[in-house]
Structure 1
Amino acid sequence: MTADPADDTRTRILRAALDLFAEHGYQRTSLRQIGERLRLSKTAILYHFPAKEHLLAALAEPLVADLEALLDSAQSQPTERARWTVLEGWLDIMLAHRRPLGMLFHDIALIGRGDTYHRLMEVAMRANDLIAGPNAGRRERVLAVQAVGACSDPVVFFTDVSDEVLRADMLDGARRLLAPLPADAAPRPHEEAGAEPHEDAGAGPHEEAGAGRRAEATAGPPTGATAGPRTTVPPSRREP
């Protein structure tokens, strides 16, 4: 069975676009430049991608689809296992899509408010909810957002560090974020004498549930989570 020439051309266009976006930035790269690199006319490029922003959305698609599949698989798991399934899987997907992620970091706003943008926002919200756990208080929700950042941002900023080393450092950072506060930790502002208590302050059900989750997080991922295989990103979903 032979490959569809149209699919092959589309893949070549995406690869060339990713290279040129990385070299010159999205704004400074024209469809004409992409065509010249591939010896294709601008009309041929427009046949596959009616506008330049469609290239950006297509480059983001494998990343978004992999994250959606990860969250679907974690949705039915117990809270603690779901938390670390999401964090480890999220990190592995970020590393698998390292090049387009760097490009998207600078040009994500250019995707606009289309379907890809809304899917990215939905993915982020779902990940935060799964990591925070049910009935999470403010502190747990804040830490969940920080943990997602700990498993994302360093991939863009530390491009000279190997996947293996960066993965270990990032997971260590996520564990530290989700660990319980030391018993002798300084009180938070609303806990100091005379301060007006915050709406989440006190030992209500949210705080008690949060304390239990923080205690669970001390040991990091469930047994076997970090020792097991990494999240497998299908070859078809990897960067062009």
Structure 2
Amino acid sequence: MPAAEKPSREDVPGRILAAARELFAAVGYRATSMQRVAEAVGITKPGLYYHFPAKDEILRQLTEPLLDELEAALADAERHPDPETVRWQALEGYLDVCIRHRETLLMLVRDMSLLVEAPVAHRFRSAVALANDLVAGPTRDLATRVRAAQAVAGLGDAVILFAEEDPGELREHVLAGVRALLAPARPAPPSAPDRGRPRGRRGGRPRLLDQEQVDHIRRRYATDGHTVEHIARELGVSRATVYRSLNSSSET
């Protein structure tokens, strides 16, 4: 993952946040003690408490920028009167925030307990629910809402899975995938005509010819010297059908 700008030795709060983010992602929020954070930074535990009186304050400062920007991006999208503009501005804004804060997003996903930790959980769930509504738009049928939820979930998932990739290229590919997902559904291709014959007891394609026609094919091929292509054209069947007739046994 492209490293964020490292805090200087004098930026103790920044160093604490960077170390805590890494520890929360690696071993979990609840399993990380304040002592362990202090040791990772190279300061005493009282020195850590001087900057952060509690562990949940570290978590708040780590997640607040992501949540603040996510809520702002969705609120900005919601102001537009055109549903399509709302949809795509919400998607792009959501994606851009995820890319900017991919280290924090990765931390949240690696320790799923953080997603039930107040107030992080409530704000994150509310933002996702709003994004789903904005992407679904005024059409409230189930199919549209399902595809909207898939699109929103795919934004964060792709950023997490490919966090090491170039952000610009990743953004382009993610949006291309979302456009494909949300494109109008194509009509189903027409089904093959029912030829009205059951499959044979050996499975495979149904027989198209009766025994008399099969005998005719064999006679034309063996006695009259006609080619498979000529016989197929004559009977209006495929060459594969002719070959099957020549290779099959005499059973019907």
Taking structure 2 as the reference length, the TM-score comes to 0.65
* Alignment partner, residue 128 of structure 1: 132
* Alignment partner, residue 4 of structure 2: none
What CA distance in whole angstroms lies between the structure 2 residues aligned with 1:56 and 1:185?
A: 52
Matched, 1:93 2:97: yes
1:105 aligned residue (105, 109, 121): 109
What CA distance in whole angstroms lies between the structure 2 residues aligned with 1:119 and 1:24?
A: 23
| Aligned pairs for 1:146-157 within 5 A | 146-157=150-161
* Alignment partner, residue 51 of structure 1: 54
Residue 50 of structure 1: how far off its partner (Å): 3.4
Read off the aligned partner of 2:63 and give its amino acid letter.
Answer: A
Read off the aligned partner of 1:15 and give its amino acid letter.
Answer: A
* Alignment partner, residue 181 of structure 1: 185
Deviates further, 110-119 or 21-30: 21-30
Read off the aligned partner of 2:98 and give its amino acid letter.
Answer: M
Matched, 1:41 2:44: yes
| Aligned pairs for 1:193-208 within 5 A | none
Residue 172 of structure 1: how far off its partner (Å): 1.0
Secondary structure of the residue aligned to 1:180 is: coil
The answer as to whether partners of 1:70 and 1:86 remain within 8 angstroms in 2 is yes
Taking only aligned residues, the RMSD between alpha carbons, in angstroms, comes to 2.3
The answer as to whether partners of 2:25 and 2:108 remain within 8 angstroms in 1 is no
Matched, 1:11 2:14: yes
| Aligned pairs for 1:58-69 within 5 A | 58-69=61-72
Residue 67 of structure 1: how far off its partner (Å): 0.5
Read off the aligned partner of 1:184 and give its amino acid letter.
Answer: A
Residue 185 of structure 1: how far off its partner (Å): 5.5
The answer as to whether partners of 2:78 and 2:86 remain within 8 angstroms in 1 is yes
Secondary structure of the residue aligned to 2:111 is: helix
Residue 186 of structure 1: how far off its partner (Å): 8.6
What CA distance in whole angstroms lies between the structure 2 residues aligned with 1:113 and 1:15?
A: 20
Q: Which consecutive residues of structure 1, in runs of 5 or more, have no partner in the other structure?
A: 1-6, 188-240
Matched, 1:30 2:33: yes
**Structure with greater Cα Rg:** 2
The answer as to whether partners of 1:13 and 1:34 remain within 8 angstroms in 2 is yes
Residue 179 of structure 1: how far off its partner (Å): 0.7
The answer as to whether partners of 1:53 and 1:111 remain within 8 angstroms in 2 is no
* Alignment partner, residue 88 of structure 2: 84
What CA distance in whole angstroms lies between the structure 2 residues aligned with 1:123 and 1:184?
A: 35
* Alignment partner, residue 166 of structure 1: 170
Residue 136 of structure 1: how far off its partner (Å): 1.6
Q: Which consecutive residues of structure 2, in runs of 5 or more, have no partner in the other structure?
A: 1-9, 192-252
Residue 40 of structure 1: how far off its partner (Å): 2.1
* Alignment partner, residue 198 of structure 2: none
Taking structure 1 as the reference length, the TM-score comes to 0.68
